Copies of this chain bind each other. A is one copy, B any other.
Amino acid sequence: MIIDCHGHYTTEPKDLHRFRQEQTKAVKDKTAMPSRASLKMSDDEIRESLEGAQLKLQRERGTDLTIFSPRASGMGHHIGDESVSLEWTQICNDLIHRVVSLYPKNFIGVCQLPQSQGVAPKNSVAELERAITELGFVGCNLNPDPSGGYFNSPPLTDKWWYPFYEKMVELDVPAMIHVSGCCNPAQHTTGSYYLNADTMAFMQLILSDLFKDFPTLKLIIPHGGGAVPFHWGRFRGIALNNNRPELAEIIGNNIFFDTCVYHQPGIDLLAKVVPADNILFASEMVGAVKGVDPKSGFYFDDTKRYIDNAAGFSDADRKKIFEDNAIKVYPRLKNAMAKQRAKAS
C-alpha cells in the first residue's frame, strides 16, 4: 500500500470560499458573521472537485490513500478571534469528514485546529477530541505560528503547548507541524514561510527535553524537514556542541520528515542523511507547486517517482516510507482504514 501522509483539500467547492471571504470581511468591518447554514456544498460538487484532481492523481501516480486535511494556507489562524477560528475550523473539518465519507478507501481525515493568536493551545483540545472521536480522524495539523508569519509564539517545547500534547498522547494521534497562510510581506507562504517554520520547529525540538516529558509524542515536520537535511551537519554539530546525542537518536520515534521535496537530488539527499524509519511518503498534491517540470516532463509534486528512483533507498526502506511508517506514526490509521474499507464494500 502507498499512503500519502500529506494532502490538503485545495480544490474545495466555491461556496466555502464565499463563506470565508464574507467571514474575513465581517471581521474587518466588524459586521455580522455569515451563517454556517448558508453554506451550499453538494455531494456532487465535492465529488467533482476531487475526481479530476486528487483522485485522478492517485490513480495516475499509483498511490492508494491520502491522509487528508483542510487547506493549510486557508487555516488563517491570524484572522479574527478565537470564535472566528473555531467556526471556520469546524466547517473545514466537517467538510473533510464529508470527503472521507464519500471516498472512504481514498482518504483518511486529519484536522485543522481552532488556534488563534495569543490563545493557549489547550483551547484546541475540544476540537481535537471531536475530530478524533466523532469524525474518526487520525491526527491534526498544529500551527507553531498562529500570527501568520511573525514567529511570535512560544517555542513548541514551552509548557504553553503541554496541555495540547497531553490530549494528543491520550488520544494517540500525531501532529504535523504546519503553518498557514502568511500575512507577513517579507515571507512567501509556500516559498519561504512553510520551510522556515519547519526548520524553526526542528531546531526548537532537538535541544529540548520535550520527548522526555512526552515519550510517545509524535511530530511530523513536513516539506522534507525544511532546511534540515541539507544542513544535517550543521544541526548535528550544534546538537553535539550542546551535549546532545546524534540527531538520529534525538529524532528516534518522535520526529518524522515527509517527502514533499520536489526534485530528485533533494530526495537523494534525504535518503542519505535521514534514517528511513523517520521518513513518511507525502506529495502535498494538489499544493504548492502544481506544474509539470519542463525538464522531466513530470509533475514537480509527483514525489513517488523520486523515491522509486533514489538509489539510497532499499526496497525495505521504500516499504517503510510508503506504508509501515505511516501505520506506526498514526496509531489509529490501521483501524480507521479497516473501518472505512468495511463501509466502502
Contacts and interface: CB of A to CB of B under 8 A. Distances in A.
Contacts of A265: 232, 269, 272-273
A266 B191 contact: no
A122 interface: no
A222 B88 CA distance: 40
Contacts of A203: 187-188, 191-192
Contacts of A345: none
Given A186-B154, A227-B227, A263 B293 contact: no
A234 B188 CA distance: 12
A23 interface: no
- A interface, size bucket: 35 or more
Which of A195, A200, A262, A272 has the most chain B CB atoms inside 10 A of its CB?
A195
Interface string A127-166: 0000000000000000011000111111100000000000
Contacts of A288: 234, 237-238
Contacts of A204: 186, 188, 192
A236 interface: yes
Contacts of A238: 188, 190-191, 288-289
B152 A234 contact: no
Which of A153, A196, A269 has the most chain B CB atoms inside 10 A of its CB?
A196
B187 A266 contact: no
A234 B151 contact: no
A151 B269 contact: no
A233 B192 contact: no
A152 to B, nearest CB: 6
Pairs A-B, 8 closest by C-beta atoms? A233-B263, A233-B262, A237-B289, A227-B227, A230-B230, A192-B203, A196-B196, A191-B203
A231 B237 contact: no
Contact of A150 (B151, B196, B269): B151
Contacts of A154: 185-186
Interface string A185-215: 1111011100110011011101100000000
Nearest to A186: B151
B261 A231 contact: yes
Interface string A32-63: 00000000000000000000000000000000
A19 interface: no
A230 B266 contact: yes
A297 interface: no
Nearest to A312: B265
